[in-house]
Structure 1
């Protein structure tokens, strides 16, 4: 007998990738058929997760930024779409600062009879299974473990042999994109991030590309279609610029072939973890690193985690000059790469170090 399970994660691609172990737990239940409800920024990532039968997309006014307007036709439309699938139950995955209750209200109106979520607020009749953060759910869990705990409360556990790491479906071949780099060690620099507070300066990335190339490790620069100007500036005449040339699955393929990824706290870091690629993480402390650092993959965390912006969830750094990231010199990133990847020692270039 088919058990129709809806798993909800309404925010970005990285958040959806981090939900992957919980999705696999739901999919492992006898007869389970898992549908994932995602926001527009997370839908492509949802399609990469093992265990997902289908992905539904909806822009939630309480999660998406900038927020779409609330309208009766939109709300009626998502309720009707969900009701048409006749789900047996739903698991609402949220981070510590999010409430599952607005989503649960829509799911209830769609006729879903059993709903699980984690809520500090009284849920009334909106949740059938409720975890209380700080009581049933520890405060500082990594996001994949928080999601697994919510799924476990609904009765879903990982199957034997699944160690709970991040995972994606086998990525496509990307040899034509990489050209002469295909099959060779290379580093990936991913300079973009959804919000300015999580971005390392472009010039720092550009200098890092030169340092890595001079150390004998070729560089590939990646980014979305709206980041082509940024990736071109970072790549210069030193690196292979793939900005705007990959979809999310192809980006996963590029990361799978890389020796290391240099990136901020953004979805590419979690995709790298899902394919086992080491990460140099330029992590702004606007959100807690314990929750969102690269999960169960070799990594070096750079960034002042005690900076004044700590825990602010700021989209734009509230401290002039963005010092928690801008003070990280490219030479420190090169040293971090060396900790993760076997590299030859480069010939010193004092001009490079002082530029």
Structure 2
């Protein structure tokens, strides 16, 4: 049985789809994961993905392409030519699965399942409920199960990535804590100065610190690293970043895809979690974690890219000492 999983989410959202992809692969082969450019690097890290089909849908993302520029005819042709037997649609939060389902019907996919609210007509063969308080990784597994795909015996349902390279040449020898100061939206970012203070306090407490960030975050990582930490800003691709995270004692960062990557490598997470999205659905999954931040703040559930409350109190009231204490709590639990 040839299967297609459609997940047009970003890097972190695709990682959260990983357990559901493994469930599909337990009974189907090959498995193709169809996603957009933002999710494709994560898709290539997932076990049991035989091929990645990259297509930017005109209905997904903060800045989707115009419908006329999306080459819908081309992707319908590619899906039709691949002759999939079944498709599972894992729509991003707040997105209907129906546009993707219509595209797959046009491509003659015979059996399609998804989760969502509202009528589905004849577009979906399986239309599973989606509880609003269910974690995204768990909800994706539920949707796969509704379509008949159950995890392999012994699969614990946690996030996973493919084996990672040795990154000692990047990090240096010895244990370390990773601090990742960046975030995809300003509403989910802790103050750079607070991050720098936390790095200094962690170093004072005897920890080696490695600071990570993307190519466009090098000024941020340089500021946060100071003269104390190893600055890997702009120096890791997703696979090597996964290796850096796997070898870490703990990860400190906001509600970002990199936090989900840390969880996928099995590393405990201190999450500076702004409540613009609900923690019960998006918090680090399947690893020991500590959530810091006021989950009942006025910005809770707004989905805002910029905190609507002056001063960003939901995160900026978290102190660097809170972060150090949370790291020590996780390390004590790991030693127990």
The verdict on a shared fold, with TM-score over 0.5 as the criterion, is yes
RMSD: 1.3
1:119 lines up with 2:116 in the alignment? yes
Contact 2:7/2:92 (CA < 8 Å) preserved in 1? no
Alignment of 1:165-244 (within 5 A): 165-178=158-171, 181-182=172-173, 184-244=174-234
Once the two structures are superposed, residues 36-78 of structure 1 have per-residue CA deviations (whole angstroms, 9 ceiling, x without a partner) of: 0111111011111111001111112211222211116611121
| Greater Cα offset, 105-114 or 277-286 | 105-114
Residue of structure 1 aligned with 2:299, choices 304, 309, 325: 309
SS in 2 for 1:52: coil
In structure 1, the residue matched to 2:107 is 110
Partners of 2:219 and 2:78 lie apart in 1 by 38
Moved over 2 A (4+): none
Residue of structure 2 aligned with 1:69, choices 60, 66, 71: 66
1:156 lines up with 2:128 in the alignment? no
In structure 2, the residue matched to 1:329 is 319
In structure 2, the residue matched to 1:264 is 254
SS in 1 for 2:114: strand
In structure 1, the residue matched to 2:266 is 276
Once the two structures are superposed, residues 173-198 of structure 1 have per-residue CA deviations (whole angstroms, 9 ceiling, x without a partner) of: 112111xx33x110101111111110
Partners of 2:274 and 2:230 lie apart in 1 by 26
Contact 1:95/1:143 (CA < 8 Å) preserved in 2? no
Distance 1:64 1:73, change over 3 A: closer
Contact 1:13/1:44 (CA < 8 Å) preserved in 2? yes
Partners of 2:134 and 2:51 lie apart in 1 by 28
Contact 1:94/1:147 (CA < 8 Å) preserved in 2? no
1:48 lines up with 2:45 in the alignment? yes
Q: CA deviation at 1:270?
A: 1.0
Partners of 1:249 and 1:16 lie apart in 2 by 15
Alignment of 1:31-46 (within 5 A): 31-46=28-43
TM-score by length of 2: 0.96
1:251 lines up with 2:241 in the alignment? yes
Once the two structures are superposed, residues 273-320 of structure 1 have per-residue CA deviations (whole angstroms, 9 ceiling, x without a partner) of: 111111100000001100111112111100100001111111111111
Once the two structures are superposed, residues 310-353 of structure 1 have per-residue CA deviations (whole angstroms, 9 ceiling, x without a partner) of: 1111111111111101111111111111101259xxxxxxxxxx
Partners of 1:297 and 1:186 lie apart in 2 by 18
Question: Structure 2: which 5+ runs fail to align?
Answer: none
Q: CA deviation at 1:96?
A: 4.5
Question: Structure 1: which 5+ runs fail to align?
Answer: 344-355
Once the two structures are superposed, residues 1-48 of structure 1 have per-residue CA deviations (whole angstroms, 9 ceiling, x without a partner) of: xx110001111111111111100000000x521100111111011111
Distance 1:72 1:276, change over 3 A: closer
Residue of structure 2 aligned with 1:11, choices 5, 9, 12: 9
Partners of 2:216 and 2:67 lie apart in 1 by 27
Contact 1:8/1:91 (CA < 8 Å) preserved in 2? yes
Once the two structures are superposed, residues 79-99 of structure 1 have per-residue CA deviations (whole angstroms, 9 ceiling, x without a partner) of: 112222111110001245221
Distance 1:73 1:230, change over 3 A: closer
Partners of 2:54 and 2:93 lie apart in 1 by 22
SS in 1 for 2:73: helix
Residue of structure 1 aligned with 2:86, choices 84, 89, 92: 89
Contact 2:160/2:264 (CA < 8 Å) preserved in 1? yes
SS in 2 for 1:287: coil
SS in 2 for 1:316: coil
